[in-house]
Each structure stands twice: as C-alpha cells, then as structure tokens.
C-alpha cells in the first residue's frame, strides 16, 4: 500500500487526501519534509525554530487541504505556505536573532562538532564550518524577499514562473530580485574571496 502511494504524483496524493486518506498526507510529508526544512532553516538563519516552522507548514497543509486546487504544481502551493509561515515567524519574533548571537551559537556548535566527531583533520572541519557561517551570515543580511528568491532559485531550483507564483509577484520582479540578490551576495562575500586569494 505504501509503495503504491509512493508511486503516485503529489497532485494525485493531495486529491486522495482531500477525500480523507490520511496515509496520502503522511506520504507527502515524508516526500517533502527535507526540502521544506532546508528552506525554513536557511531562511531563518539556522534558528532552532526552523524544524517547528517546517512542521507548522505541514499542519497548515493538513487543515487547508480543501483550498488546494490541482491547477498548479503541488510544490508551488507547498512553498507558498512555507514562505507565508516563514514570514509570519519573522514577524512574530520581531527580527532575526542578532548576528552576534548567531555567531556565538555557531562557535559553540563548531567546538562541539570538533570534539564530538573525533575528526582526523580538525582544521579542515573548522574551515568548512567557517565557510558555512560566512555564507549563512551573508544570506541573513539580504532583505527577506530577496533572500527567499535566492533560496528558492539556488537550492530548490524553482523556475522563474514558480518563484513568481510563490511570492505573488511578476516574473520580471523575480529576475530583478534575483540579480540584486546575487550582486549583494557578491559584495558581502567579497571579503572572503579577498582573504583567500
């Protein structure tokens, strides 16, 4: 039965779920949980709330199943709800965790990683972690909509049309937001490249 469900497309699963089959809902969660979590984690700058927010997205999917219409791709609807939930979370919390706070957190995370993993090459792990932190900080500095466009394009490989639908803007706006985001990232990461040349 589970295998049968796994063969179904998202839209078909959603239609079955609308008829009351909760197993289809669980299959959708299993299929998309990583993508949703990756987006919430990166958008919320590695906030500890990221997993809760991702769970909230699926809870919303469950209770708004009747509003789903199979005209658009399921993932477009899913990412629209994810975007709304992320934005609501930011509003609720005021602003992102301050970068200093985040950096402190990341440093302690990094130290525990080094001691826990018994890595053969701690300096390499440290360097990777530093790169990760630099990129995370650069993304966190982007305005919210620009950040969302960058994440949807770079990590989720959504098309311009899909991003436009998720954000409720025109394709031209998406192109413009994307390019401005790329230029900002280039400027923010310039220091890293200068140090490593």
Contacting residues toward another protein, per CB under 8 A? 26, 29-30, 33-34, 37-38, 41-42, 51, 54-56, 58-59, 62-63, 128, 131-132, 134-136, 138-139, 150, 154-155, 175, 178-179, 182-183, 185-186, 188-190, 192-193
Angle 18-24-27 (CA atoms, 0-180°, nearest 5)? 145
Nearer to another protein, 5 or 138 (CB): 138
**49, two tokens:** 């709330």
Which is closer to another protein, CB of 50 or CB of 71?
Answer: 50
| Nearer of residues 71 and 187 to another protein, judged by Cβ | 187
The residue count for the chain: 197
Range 175-182, long-range pairs (CB < 8 A, 24+ positions): 177/145, 177/146, 177/149, 178/149, 178/150, 178/153, 180/146, 181/142, 181/146, 181/147, 181/149, 181/150, 182/150
**DSSP character for 94?**
S
Of 22 and 71, CB closest to another protein? 22
Q: How far is the CB of 154 from another protein (least distance, A)?
A: 5
Token look-up 């990129």 returns: 135
Q: How far is the CB of 101 from another protein (least distance, A)?
A: 18
Shortest Å distance, C-beta 190 to another protein: 7
CB 104 → another protein: shortest distance, Å? Answer: 18
């Amino acid at each position: 039965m589970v295998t049968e469900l796994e063969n179904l497309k998202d839209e078909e699963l959603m239609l079955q779920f609308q008829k009351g089959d909760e197993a289809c809902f669980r299959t959708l969660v299993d299929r998309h949980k990583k993508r949703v979590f990756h987006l919430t984690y990166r958008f919320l700058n590695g906030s500890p709330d990221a997993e809760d927010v991702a769970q909230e997205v699926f809870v919303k999917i469950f209770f708004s199943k009747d509003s789903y219409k199979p005209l658009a791709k399921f993932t477009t609807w899913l990412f629209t709800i994810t975007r709304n939930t992320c934005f609501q979370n930011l509003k609720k919390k005021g602003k992102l965790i301050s970068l200093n706070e985040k950096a402190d957190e990341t440093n302690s995370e990094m130290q525990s990683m080094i001691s826990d993993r018994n890595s053969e090459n701690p300096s390499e792990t440290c360097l990777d972690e530093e790169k990760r932190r630099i990129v995370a900080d650069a993304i966190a500095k982007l305005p919210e909509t620009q950040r969302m466009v960058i994440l949807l394009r770079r990590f989720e490989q959504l098309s311009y049309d899909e991003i436009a639908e998720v954000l409720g803007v025109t394709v031209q706006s998406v192109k413009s937001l994307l390019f401005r985001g790329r230029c900002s990232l280039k400027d923010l990461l310039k220091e890293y490249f200068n140090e490593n040349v």
